[in-house]
């Protein structure tokens, strides 16, 4: 044994201790009684959890259209119903441990069972309760192994080894134990932060008396506040002094001044847009660069436009401030368009405006307010007389709502019904000289 490596000697010593503990439990009436109580507690918890799970799930699941604060709290608690079995098992084994300690003065077997129950609870939490992919990964590779080490009684040894392993980082250094704690505590805090942010966002979006731009600004402000508090709470729990982050803050400031100035500019431009409300979610806009579409989302860095063919265009917020932007929805939902057409020179053009205006006014989407259809003479073309009818509609004439083609159909039918000819180009060919005669 003296010639073996230290790690092998340590492993053999733990095996020897485990064998002695197993012999002690196998030959002890107290150990057998604790094991019996542990089995009874497990079976009782399994039976009770199966009886309570369905009624509890139904009680904690409100109607889909119920969005009250109590309904949201019930839905949140319903996520933890899979933990009912380990919680009941832990409670029953705790009662059994108190009984065995009062009779035999020992409860090591039940204490071990409690640790196993805790491992089962952590596994259920990661597998069935946590839905976020990031936190599920953290739980799978950090939380479950830690619970397994605790259940086997190796937590103290592993903790000491992690605490003794120092990771240098420039002038700073930290232990692997600190890193593991930071990941676990940070994951829990920011998971709660994301849940709180989702609830606050849903509540703000329901405030219909607020302008859409103010709702977006309030949503961003609450998000910054929630995650700011989460960050400060994490720093306080981990014992990290905020003054130690002064150097990092200075480096970030320099980065913003040089490499990240565009990001800072877009962020500030986004705040200005939300405050002024000149462009917000739901508006149809056209930028100076040719980008056009409906704003479906506004982030801290950019606005996302959806075109009529379903494509998304990411436009930096700065472009809304520094370039010309046409907002078709800013002053109201009504917009004016025109449909050009031509008639033959043989037509009595004095009758055309009344005929076209009457035909277009019959269309159900054409508005009378702020003005009805207006047919105007535009000029005398090479092949015919040019007209155009102006009309107002409630919406945007885009790929989803093509108003102009329907107006052109109405113009075509009205002209045909009144025997008015729609011209097409004519060409006069003049041939100089005589035509060749057939031989």
- Tens of pLDDT, residues 147-197: 888 887 777 777 787 777 777 766 666 777 777 777 777 777 777 777 777
Residue 336 phi, psi dihedral angles, 5° rounding: -105, 140
Surface-to-core class of residue 104, CB atoms within 10 Å of its CB (0-12 exposed, 13-18 middle, 19+ buried): middle
Per-residue pLDDT of the chain (439 residues; tens, 9 = 90+): 555 556 566 666 666 666 566 655 555 666 667 777 777 878 888 888 888 888 888 887 877 777 777 777 777 778 788 888 888 888 877 776 676 666 666 666 777 777 888 888 888 888 888 777 777 787 788 788 888 888 877 777 777 877 777 777 666 667 777 777 777 777 777 777 777 777 787 777 777 777 666 677 677 777 778 877 787 777 777 666 666 566 556 666 666 566 566 777 777 777 777 777 677 777 888 888 777 888 888 777 788 888 877 788 888 888 888 888 887 765 556 788 889 999 998 888 899 999 999 999 998 888 888 888 999 999 998 888 999 999 988 877 766 567 888 899 999 999 999 988 888 877 777 777 776 666 5
d(CA 372, CA 360): 9
pLDDT for res 124: 85
Taking alpha carbons only, the member of 245, 250, 219, 215 closest to residue 231 is 245
d(CA 63, CA 30): 51
- Establish whether the linkage from the previous residue to 363 is cis, with ω within 30° of 0: no
Architecture of domain 262-327: Roll (2.30)
Taking alpha carbons only, the member of 353, 352, 381, 357 closest to residue 368 is 357
pLDDT for res 46: 84
d(CA 29, CA 38): 14
DSSP 436: P
H runs (alpha helix) in 279-431 = 317-322, 352-361, 403-417
d(CA 232, CA 245): 12
Encoded tokens for 280: 């917000």
Residue 378 phi, psi dihedral angles, 5° rounding: -105, -25
Instruction: Tell me the fold of 334-417.
Output: Alpha-Beta Plaits (3.30.70)
Neighbours of 421 (CB within 10 A): 14
H runs (alpha helix) in 27-140 = 29-59, 69-78, 84-104, 108-124, 133-138
Per-domain residue ranges of the chain = 6-189, 262-327, 334-417
């Amino acid at each position: 044994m003296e010639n073996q490596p230290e790690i092998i000697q340590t492993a053999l010593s733990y095996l020897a201790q485990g064998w002695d503990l197993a012999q002690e439990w196998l030959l002890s009436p107290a150990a057998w009684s604790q094991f019996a109580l542990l089995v009874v507690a497990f079976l009782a918890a399994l039976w009770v959890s199966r009886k309570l799970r369905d009624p509890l799930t139904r009680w904690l699941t409100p109607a889909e259209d119920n969005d009250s604060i109590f309904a949201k709290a019930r839905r949140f608690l319903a996520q933890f119903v899979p933990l009912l079995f380990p919680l009941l098992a832990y409670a029953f084994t705790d009662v059994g441990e108190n009984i065995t300690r009062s009779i035999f003065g020992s409860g090591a077997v039940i204490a071990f069972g409690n640790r196993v129950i805790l491992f089962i609870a952590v596994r259920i939490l990661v597998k069935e309760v946590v839905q976020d992919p990031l936190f599920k990964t953290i739980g799978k590779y950090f939380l479950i192994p830690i619970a397994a080490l605790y259940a086997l009684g190796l937590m103290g040894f592993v903790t000491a080894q992690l605490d003794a392993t120092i990771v240098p980082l420039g002038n700073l250094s930290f232990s692997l134990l600190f890193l593991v704690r930071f990941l676990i505590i940070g994951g829990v805090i920011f998971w709660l932060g994301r849940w709180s942010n989702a609830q606050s966002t849903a509540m703000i979006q329901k405030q219909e008396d607020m302008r859409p731009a103010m709702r977006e600004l309030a949503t961003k402000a609450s998000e910054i506040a929630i995650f700011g508090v989460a960050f400060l709470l994490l720093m306080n729990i981990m014992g990290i002094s905020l003054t130690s982050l002064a150097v990092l803050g200075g480096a970030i400031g320099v980065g913003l001044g040089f490499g990240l100035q565009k990001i800072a500019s877009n962020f500030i431009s986004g705040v200005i847009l939300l405050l002024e409300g000149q462009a917000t979610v739901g508006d149809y806009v056209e930028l100076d660069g040719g980008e056009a579409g409906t704003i479906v989302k506004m982030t801290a860095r950019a606005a996302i436009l959806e075109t009529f063919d379903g494509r998304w265009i990411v436009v930096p917020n700065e472009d809304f401030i520094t370039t010309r932007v046409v907002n078709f929805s800013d002053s109201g939902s009504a917009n004016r368009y025109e449909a050009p057409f031509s008639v033959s020179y043989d037509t009595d053009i004095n009758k055309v405006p009344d005929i076209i205006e009457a035909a277009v006014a019959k269309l159900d989407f054409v508005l009378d307010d702020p003005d009805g259809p207006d047919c105007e003479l535009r000029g005398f073309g090479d092949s015919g007389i040019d007209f155009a009818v102006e009309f107002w509609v409630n919406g945007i004439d885009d790929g989803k709502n093509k108003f102009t083609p329907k107006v052109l159909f109405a113009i075509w039918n009205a002209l045909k019904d009144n025997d008015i000819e729609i011209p097409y180009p004519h060409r006069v060919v003049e041939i100089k000289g005589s035509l060749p005669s057939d031989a």
